[in-house]
Amino acid sequence: MREIFKHSKVKLSLFFTSLLLITFISCNGFNFGDIDFNGDIRTQLEEDIGVTYSFYEYPDLESQHIDQTLITGKTISNSRFPVYEHEDTLLVGWQYLCNTQTGSTEMPDYFTFNEKNYIQTVRPGITDESLYAVWKKKCIIKFVTNWPGLEIEDVVMPAGDLLEWPRIETRQGEYRLWNWCTDPELTQWYDFSKPVEDSMTLYARWVEVRTITYHKNDGSDEENWREYEINMENEISDCMFGERSGYGFVGWADSPSGGVTKYAGDRFTITQDMDLYAVWSTDVVTITYIDKYGVFPNATARMGNGAHYSVGRVLSNEGNWYTDLGEVWKPQGKTVLGYDESSSVGLDWQGRPAVTYGRWGWHNVSTSPEHWEGSNYITLNSSKTFYVYWDDMIIPGGEVSADFTFEESPDSDIPGLVSGPSSTSGSSVTFTATSGYDEYRWYFDGDYQSSSATNTFTMSTSALLPGDYTVMLVVKSGSDYYSWQGTLTKN
């Protein structure tokens, strides 16, 4: 939660500032350096229309701080904020300082925030303000490349961030850097999709590879290639190209004019480089995907009759290759669980939708007892429709519930200020605040919504994706402001 309110003394020199504010503030980004006048006048101008921003090392007014004079109406970015350095922690951003020693007489709505909810820019008003540094544990990532002459610099990063795959040449002769491991024996693969928690050393695992070149075989020279580890069981690729008008992909041939010799998903062991050619058919079938949440429009794939098809594969957003639907439909905080031809499935032993086809290529061949096989390829003889289920779905009585839950934040200035949502059905929700305040200012997920003397707030939820959303209310009583916050969850 971020608090953005505090009382401060308004710095307004009446003898000079009234005229200057009208003249200069209207010019966003005014810079005193653009005008040639003596230092005494410049200093007086800065004193008259400048405000003091105090940058505290911690969210405590007793901690070390650095003051900067900022000009009212002139936007500055966080790259110009002061820098503190610690040995074991990293400064990752800035937040607005609000505690028992501060208050507000002016609504500070002149901040913008980055994707991590830290202050990105400030366009100062006419009040002094205070910000505080946010710190995260410092993590040092070391790399052992296991290849002579190939070195990678250490990465210093805050805990909680994702580590990027090192940018180095990953092909050395017939060897490819296959993955990074957390142990020197190269048995424990590192998961780059999980946040870093501590300092560590990663070890490179190289494997000998061969290449299959996949040709589109439609009269063009379009081709793609893929590397495979030798002496290992591999899998023939799905269609590597976008849709071909009037045709559907069936499989792969060993020559441009040959028939299908290998289907997508076939298992094989490679010993030498190969070329495979797409086989197309005018007998096309359509696979349709329907979102059980109803948020996304239907997705479709078109294949040739007789193709071996991996359930869940659709065209990418770019439209030039097939990929997993979970990479196309990506609501925040949610993941595709799997697919089923039934619009109403039961629960598995973990309480999740008991889908037949898992997102990651698994096929549930039995639900009692549950038994999965490592392939969700099917042979297409007709068009198909699949329903898409998500990893967090609630299924009372076999039906997916897209309901709402709400939890008040313990940091609210006035607990119980808001009751709600009082309505959680249909396409909107309504919050009701205690009456008797002079003004009510509502915010949803950080964005200003409305300000009035009315104590209710109704918002549309029909376009909301499943996830957590912040609801905040600021009420005014006389010259004082109080904040309240809670979390609305769409299941």
Average confidence (pLDDT) over 56-66: 89
**pTM higher than 0.75:** no
- pLDDT confidence of 44, banded at 50, 70, 90? low
CA-based nearest residue to 433, from 446, 451, 445: 451
In a domain, 31, yes or no: yes
In a domain, 428, yes or no: yes
The whole-number pLDDT of residue 40 equals 58
**Which of 181-195, 231-245, 363-377, 384-398 has the weakest average pLDDT?**
363-377
- Residue 14, classed as helix, strand or coil, is helix
Average confidence (pLDDT) over 418-435: 70
Report the CATH number that the domain containing residue 202 is assigned in CATH. 2.60.40.4270
CA-based nearest residue to 89, from 154, 133, 137: 137
- The proportion of the chain whose per-residue pLDDT surpasses 70, expressed as a percent, equals 79
Average confidence (pLDDT) over 22-30: 43
For residues 390 and 432, state if they share a domain.
Answer: no
Can you give the residue range of the structural domain that contains 238? Answer: 220-280
CA distance 371 to 369: 6
CB atoms near residue 110 (< 10 Å)? 16
For residues 311 and 371, state if they share a domain.
Answer: yes
CA-based nearest residue to 162, from 120, 194, 128: 194
Final residue before a domain boundary, out of 133, 160, 178: 133
CA distance 1 to 95: 10
Token look-up 């009751």 returns: 419
Which is more confidently placed, 275 or 95?
A: 275
CB atoms near residue 484 (< 10 Å)? 22
The whole-number pLDDT of residue 109 equals 75
Task: Give Rg (Cα) of the chain.
Answer: 30
CA distance 13 to 67: 20
Report the CATH number that the domain containing residue 457 is assigned in CATH. 2.60.40.10
- pLDDT confidence of 25, banded at 50, 70, 90? very low
In a domain, 387, yes or no: yes
For residues 421 and 441, state if they share a domain.
Answer: yes
CA distance 382 to 391: 28
- The proportion of the chain whose per-residue pLDDT surpasses 90, expressed as a percent, equals 46
- Measured between alpha carbons, how far apart are the two ends of the chain, in Å? 21
Query: Considering its fold, how many domains does the chain have in total?
Result: 5
In a domain, 366, yes or no: yes
Residue 463 scores a pLDDT above 70 = no
The whole-number pLDDT of residue 31 equals 47
The whole-number pLDDT of residue 27 equals 44
**Which of 12-21, 39-48, 225-234, 370-379 has the weakest average pLDDT?**
12-21
For residues 171 and 196, state if they share a domain.
Answer: yes
Classify burial at 212, counting beta carbons within 10 Å of its beta carbon; exposed 0-12, middle 13-18, buried 19 or more.
buried
Computed over every residue of the chain, the mean pLDDT equals 81
- pLDDT confidence of 253, banded at 50, 70, 90? very high
For residues 274 and 341, state if they share a domain.
Answer: no
The whole-number pLDDT of residue 404 equals 67
What are the tens digits of pLDDT across the range 140-174?
999 999 999 999 999 999 999 999 999 888 889 99
Residue 466 scores a pLDDT above 60 = yes
Classify burial at 463, counting beta carbons within 10 Å of its beta carbon; exposed 0-12, middle 13-18, buried 19 or more.
exposed
In a domain, 187, yes or no: yes
The whole-number pLDDT of residue 116 equals 84
For residues 276 and 290, state if they share a domain.
Answer: no
For residues 28 and 49, state if they share a domain.
Answer: yes
Residue 371 scores a pLDDT above 70 = no
CB atoms near residue 448 (< 10 Å)? 13
Six token digits for residue 69? 């004079």
Which residues, in sequence order, are CB contacts of 219 under 8 Å at separation 6+?
none
- pLDDT confidence of 300, banded at 50, 70, 90? very high
For residues 440 and 484, state if they share a domain.
Answer: yes
Final residue before a domain boundary, out of 106, 133, 160: 133
Distances in Å between the Cα of 466 and the Cα atoms of 314, 333, 339, 409, 486 are: 22, 8, 18, 20, 16
Residue 62 sits at the vertex; the CA angle it makes with 60 and 66, to the nearest 5 degrees, is: 85
Which is more confidently placed, 31 or 338?
A: 338
The whole-number pLDDT of residue 15 equals 33
The whole-number pLDDT of residue 395 equals 45
- pLDDT confidence of 66, banded at 50, 70, 90? very high
For residues 253 and 322, state if they share a domain.
Answer: no
Which is more confidently placed, 78 or 33?
A: 78
Strands 467-477 and 439-444: antiparallel
Average confidence (pLDDT) over 252-258: 96
CA-based nearest residue to 203, from 175, 187, 184: 184
Final residue before a domain boundary, out of 158, 188, 209: 209
For residues 85 and 113, state if they share a domain.
Answer: yes
SS (H, E, C) 78-94: HHHCCCCCCCCEEEEEE
Average confidence (pLDDT) over 22-31: 44
For residues 333 and 271, state if they share a domain.
Answer: no
In a domain, 91, yes or no: yes
Which is more confidently placed, 95 or 284?
A: 284
In a domain, 1, yes or no: no
For residues 295 and 317, state if they share a domain.
Answer: yes
In a domain, 59, yes or no: yes
